[in-house]
Amino acid sequence: MNSRPETGGPTLTETVDLINAQGSLDGFAHFAVIVTDHDFTRGDVHNARFVRRARRFRNEEHVQEVYKLLSGVGPRVMFHTLVKGSKYPGLLELAVWNLIDDGVLVPEIAGHVLDRSWLRVISKGSEAAQ
């Protein structure tokens, strides 16, 4: 697929390179890139939205609460197991996403992480998730 217009202007890649070279993103971004559905799946986008929300509303108390629950589970746990029975499951869901973002929990299967997704426990024990 050729992104060059009929008039012979720069390609899309050349345009992005020009934007980066001009420094027109100063104060807004480090650099410009082109990302397509070949780079990221819909599941990746779904997960990124939750990670972004979890970062914005991170609460260390809730993160530590979920982290402590990990000592009572095996090497893998279902997402919903960590939040069920909580008075405020939505807050603990954000904490689970924080632990996914921190690399403490890793989805077993790439793609859309749902409440029935299995997560591998990478780090647990007496050290605190930081």
Report yes or no on 83 lying in a domain: yes
Residues 21 and 54 in one domain: no
pLDDT of residue 105: 97
Report yes or no on 130 lying in a domain: no
pLDDT of residue 116: 96
Residues 61 and 17 in one domain: no
Q: Can you give the pTM of this predicted structure?
A: 0.71
Report yes or no on 70 lying in a domain: yes
Residues 49 and 102 in one domain: yes
pLDDT of residue 75: 95
Q: Residue 91 and residue 18: Cα distance in Å, rounded?
A: 43
Residues 46 and 27 in one domain: no
Structure tokens at 85: 């029975």
* Cα 54 to Cα 4, 33, 58, 102, distances in angstroms: 40, 25, 5, 11
> Please, are residues 121 and 105 in contact by the beta-carbon 8 Å criterion?
yes
Decide if pLDDT at 10 tops 90: no
Residues 14 and 68 in one domain: no
Q: Residue 122 and residue 104: Cα distance in Å, rounded?
A: 5
Structure tokens at 7: 């008039």
For tokens 């108390």, the residue is: 61
pLDDT of residue 66: 95
Domain that residue 71 falls in: 42-121
Structure tokens at 58: 């991170």
pLDDT digits (tens, 9 = 90+) for 70-123: 988 999 999 999 999 899 999 999 999 999 999 999 999 989 999 999 999 997
Q: How many domains does the chain have?
A: 2
- Confidence at 4, pLDDT banded by 50, 70, 90: low
Report yes or no on 71 lying in a domain: yes
pLDDT digits (tens, 9 = 90+) for 24-73: 778 888 888 887 777 788 899 899 999 999 999 999 999 999 999 998 89
Report yes or no on 129 lying in a domain: no
